[in-house]
Amino acid sequence: MSETLERWGSKRAFILAVTGAAVGLGNIWRFPYVAGENGGAAFLLIYVGFVLLLGIPVMMAEILIGRAGRRGPIQALGALAMDAGASANWRWLGIFGAFTVFCILSFYSVVSGWSIEFLVASVNGQFSGATAAEIGAGFDAFLASPGLLIFNHSLFLFMTMTVVAAGVSKGLERLNNLLMPLLYGLLLLLAGYAATTDGFSTALAWLFLPSFEALTPTVVLHAMGHAFFTLAVGACALMAYGAYMPEDQSLPKAAVAVAALDISVALLAGIAIFSVVFAQGMDPAEGPGLMFVTLPIAFAELPGGVVWLSVFFLLLLLATWTSAINLAEPMVVTLQGLGCRRSIATAIVALSVWLMGLLSAFSFSTLADFRPLFGRNAFELVSSIPPDVFLPLGGLMIAIFAAWVMPRATAMKALGAGEGGYLLWRNVVRWVSIPLTFIVLLGGLL
Ligand code: PFF
Ligand code: NA
């Protein structure tokens, strides 16, 4: 396959596309519940540290490869490796990335389906006047109905794959452009409301005053995995977007902007959610249901809350939609590289992700006690191992490729930050990001 001539319409469009990939369930759903299970402030501190030391530099490495290769990830890695006189086996990194996004999208679609269900329930007024206990029980009953989970999973995947089949259009760029500020505004509003509740000061202390007794190698591994997950780094998905990056854009500036937005969305969501958790005397380690229970409770008490709740779920859905499209892209491009037409490739991906997603959907009922590995059921496995292990592993290889294998001139041009910027980036990746990822992965796994 030869080089692509397609480009994002503008620098801004590129930043929006990457932000669309980054901001999603990771910020609003996964961050609060994983932080809740891993001690709060210490987790937050370490995860932000990882974003700075690994997330941003490796994001640059990943996008840089796509931009230098101007092809789908596998072809780009193969072609660049050949140019550098290295082994064509680097292509396997692209295949590993496709496998990683396959696992992630399978549960991502199921959980995004929850927001469809909650959007509809909210619009129908099912939360108005409900007590905290009723809302909690309603969520448990929902999870116990595989039919409902599968229906919403199917709907979400259909929405995603339709856009993917059409090619990532200008339409989506514009939609993102319009809706991200709205999501942000709503989160600010929620955090402002949270400040008036009894749980606010406890939530702040819990999120921002670290106690380091809670720290184990596993918590550190979760924090690192989350840094990769939330930035959408390590699966070659951003590499795919890098191929369409405009010629004269600075990659470091774009990466820093995306990371700043991503972290701030997570912080706002965390403040809002934990204030409610503490105000209602709930358990921060409640698990994946955390957001779906706390937010309806919070909004039920706000004037006009049902309207805001509906708007919130709508925006969440749109945020997860843009991330899911990014998750699907590397798989589709991979199949296209094997000679499939885009429409066929999309259909194959949709069907296999749908089937894989069934495992997650049944994990809350029929398959709840089917625990094939580490005592975890299918949903617990796909929502933890790919983010915590596969993404850092992929990120590690991506970093090694960009900072050690690629010739200096090629990488420098693709970074778009001059020689000084390039050397600074390369030193950070070589001497900080790579060793740190390696050590944390090893420590967490042993
Ligand atoms: N960054 C997305 C989120 O925070 O929800 C998830 C994600 C997207 C992970 C794309 C990995 C990826 F390649
Ligand atoms: Na994110």
CA of 421 to the centre of ligand 2 (A): 26
Cβ–Cβ contacts within 10 Å for residue 2, how many?
Answer: 8
Inter-residue contact 135 to 296 (CB < 8 Å):
yes
Q: What percent of the chain has pLDDT over 90?
A: 68
In the reported structure, the alpha carbon of residue 1 is separated from the centroid of ligand 1 by a whole-number distance in angstroms of: 27
Please choose, from the candidates 402, 408, 409, 406, the residue with its C-alpha nearest in 3D space to the C-alpha of residue 430.
402
Tens-digit pLDDT profile for residues 7-55: 888 888 899 899 999 999 999 999 999 998 898 999 999 999 999 999 9
Q: How far apart are CA 57 and CA 52, in angstroms?
A: 8
* Ligand nearest the Cα atom of residue 262: 2
Answer whether residue 72 shows pLDDT above 80.
yes
* Ligand 1 pocket check for 200: Cβ under 6 Å: no
Q: What is the pLDDT of residue 5?
A: 62
pLDDT in tens, 432-446: 999 999 999 998 888
Domains and CATH numbers, the chain: 11-445 (1.20.1740)
DSSP 120: H
| Cβ-Cβ contacts under 8 Å for 256 (sequence gap 6 or more) | 56
Distance between CA atoms of residues 219 and 214, nearest Å? 8
Contact status, residue 387 vs residue 228, Cβ threshold 8 Å: yes
Q: Is 327 close to ligand 1, i.e. is its CB under 6 Å away?
A: yes
Ligand 1 binding pocket includes 323 (Cβ within 6 Å): yes
Span from the CA of 35 to the centroid of ligand 2 (angstroms)? 14
What is the structure's pLDDT at 130?
87
Which range of 211-225, 300-314, 341-355, 359-373 scores highest in mean pLDDT? It is 341-355
Give pLDDT, residue 47: 95
* Cβ atoms < 10 Å from Cβ of 367: 18
**From atom 7 of ligand 1, which residue's Cα is the shortest distance away?**
232
Give the whole-angstrom CA distance, residue 436 versus residue 442.
10
373 DSSP β-pair partners? 376
Is the pLDDT confidence value at 93 over 60?
Answer: yes
Atom of ligand 1 nearest to the CA of 22: 1
**Cβ neighbours for 83, distance < 8 A, ≥ 6 positions apart:** 407, 410
**316 CB near ligand 1 (under 6 Å):** no
Residue range 190-195: average pLDDT? 88
The CA distance from 405 to 416, in Å, is: 18
The structure tokens listed for 344 are 């066929």
Spatial separation of the C-alpha atoms in residues 253 and 265, rounded to whole Å: 19
Q: What is the number of the ligand closest to the CA of 229?
A: 1
Which token pair is 114? 């929850």
Q: At residue 255, does pLDDT exceed 60?
A: yes
Residue 171: band (very low, low, confident or very high) from pLDDT cuts 50, 70, 90: low
Residue 42 CB–ligand 1 contact under 6 Å: no
Residue 70: the pLDDT is 92
Each residue of 281-318: pLDDT tens digit? 888 888 898 999 988 888 787 777 888 889 889 989 98
Q: What letter would DSSP give residue 376?
A: B
The ligand 1 atom at the shortest distance from the C-alpha of residue 26 is 4
Per-residue pLDDT reduced to its tens digit, 382-426 = 999 999 999 999 999 999 999 999 999 999 999 999 999 999 999
What average pLDDT does the segment 223-227 reach?
96
From 114, 180, 230, give the residue whose CB has the most ligand 1 atoms within 8 Å, as the site to mutate.
Answer: 230
Evaluate if residue 328 carries a pLDDT over 90. Answer: yes
The ipTM (two decimal places) reads 0.99
Q: Whose CA is nearest to atom 9 of ligand 1?
A: 232
Q: Which residues contact 375 (CB under 8 A, 6 or more apart)?
A: none
Share of the chain above pLDDT 70, in %: 98
Predicted local distance difference test score (pLDDT) of residue 9: 80
Kindly report which listed range (227-236, 304-313, 358-367, 395-404) carries the lowest average pLDDT score. Answer: 304-313
Q: Whose CA is nearest to atom 8 of ligand 1?
A: 232
**H helices within 167-283, ranges in order?**
170-194, 200-208, 217-231, 237-242, 251-279
Residue 25 CB less than 6 A away from ligand 1: yes
pLDDT average, residue stretch 146-173: 88
**Confidence band of 326 (pLDDT split at 50, 70, 90):** very high
Secondary structure letter of residue 115 according to DSSP: H
Report d(CA 55, CA 433) in Å as an integer: 8
